[in-house]
Amino acid sequence: MLTLVALGIFALVALVGGSLAVMLRDPIYAVLSLVKAMLGLAGIYFILGAEYIGAIQIIVYAGAVLVTFLFVVMLVNLMPADIPPLPRGLNLYGAIALAAAWMLVLTQALTAILDLPDPAEARGASPDQYLFGTLPSIGKVLFTAYAFPFELLSITLIVGLIGASVLVQKRSEP
């Protein structure tokens, strides 16, 4: 019961952090909220017994990547007047529709992979050799059974990076 309560608390921290990262207008507070979401996810991984993934979540994402984001946001030095207003109308609904369509494509692509092994078989572990969340089991599963979903995720991240660079560009006045 205590594990379930702790899992719920970390899930709530991750959801609140992610929601604030999207809704806050100040970029520094948004990045700090994203750190909160990453720490919540790391807590969930630790509770579920995937200590390696939790440690990587803290070291790589909350430690390195988001600190780099924070430095970039501070170096850009955006003023409140530089931040464009939130999109309305067709721009907003078009972005939501595009995100929903991409989620459908990802869902269809992932469910179309019929030869994915059962999770216990993918880990290569029998019940007496439970290796979930360790480096060898993650490497084996990532580069065999889940190579295609991993590549789909990398495409999604590249699209996000391109979108972020387009949003950061300063528009020149005519």
CB 36 within 8 A of CB 16: yes
In a domain, 8, yes or no: yes
Backbone angles phi, psi at 88, to 5 degrees: -130, 165
Q: What is the CATH number of the domain that holds 11?
A: 1.20.120.1200
Percentage of residues in the chain with pLDDT exceeding 70? 75
Residue type, 4: L
In a domain, 75, yes or no: yes
In a domain, 163, yes or no: no
Q: What is the pTM of this model?
A: 0.54
In a domain, 73, yes or no: yes
What mean pLDDT comes out for the span 93-103?
85
The helix (H) or strand (E) run that includes residue 62 is none
State pLDDT tens for residues 126-148: 544 445 666 777 777 777 877 88
Q: How far apart are CA 160 and CA 164, in angstroms?
A: 6
In a domain, 5, yes or no: yes
Q: What is the domain range of residue 23?
A: 1-83
In a domain, 36, yes or no: yes
State pLDDT tens for residues 60-82: 877 777 777 777 777 776 666 66
Q: How many domains does the chain have?
A: 1
In a domain, 9, yes or no: yes
In a domain, 132, yes or no: no
State pLDDT tens for residues 12-50: 999 999 888 888 877 778 888 888 998 999 998 888 878
